[in-house]
Structure 1
Amino acid sequence: MPKITVLGYGTFEVEKGRKLVLALEDNGVNILHQCGGKAKCTTCRVEIMAGELCVETTTEKNAFNKKGIYDDNLRLACQVRIDGDVEIIPIMTVENSGMEPGPRPDEGHDKL
């Protein structure tokens, strides 16, 4: 099983093909997802420190462009599926933002 290392939270194993946002939430990382995982708000963005994630989708690119965010190390956790080991830093959490996380993203098609 792939391992996700999250700065400040530790390392945990997740099922291959699982959405990153759900894997984080299910393992105690209170990452924001204000739009419910629809790639509209960009609050679920994470910084990739090591490892590789699936290819960035057009939906993800458009969301970042719309918000004026241009950083190749950032990804939207709601649009990423886990392929292998990765080390990340969650950018916006309940703790560092004071905001509620938002509606839980859809689990549809989580298993490849």
Structure 2
Amino acid sequence: MPLIQVEGKQPIEVEEGKKLVLALEDEGVDVLHRCGGNARCTTCAVEVLTGDLGVIGEAEATVRQNKGIEDPSIRLSCQVRVHEDVSIRLIKTVGSTGLDAGPRPQE
């Protein structure tokens, strides 16, 4: 099973193919996801420090373009599935923004 290393936290073992945002939320990581995993708001964006979260899909590419996100290391955690070990840095959290997390993203 792949490991997710969130900067400053203990590694999280996750079932292969699970959405990154759900893996984080299920382990109590303070991750923001205001649109419920629909690739609209980019609040669930993370910076990939090491590892590969796969090809950027159409929905993620569209919202990244619309929001001006050009850095390939910035990925939407609601749009990627974990297939290998990855190390990430959270960009926005519930705690740092004071916003509600948003509805739980779909599997």
Which TM bucket (shorter chain)? over 0.9
Aligned residues between the structures = 107
**Distance in 2 between the 1:10 and 1:95 partners?**
18
TM, length-normalised to structure 1: 0.92
Quote the RMSD (CA, aligned, Å). Answer: 0.8
Aligned to 1:53: 53
Mean alpha-carbon deviation: is it higher for 4-13 or for 34-43? 4-13
Aligned to 2:85: 85
Give me the identity figure in percent. Answer: 53
TM, length-normalised to structure 2: 0.96
For the residue of structure 1 that corresponds to 2:96, the secondary structure is helix
What stretches of structure 2 of length at least 5 have no aligned partner? Answer: none
CA distances 1:42-81 after superposition (whole Å, capped 9, x unpaired): 0000000001112110110110111112111100000000
What stretches of structure 1 of length at least 5 have no aligned partner? Answer: 108-112
For the residue of structure 1 that corresponds to 2:95, the secondary structure is helix
Structure 1's consecutive aligned runs of 4 or more residues displaced over 6 angstroms after TM superposition are none
Aligned to 1:33: 33
For the residue of structure 1 that corresponds to 2:4, the secondary structure is strand
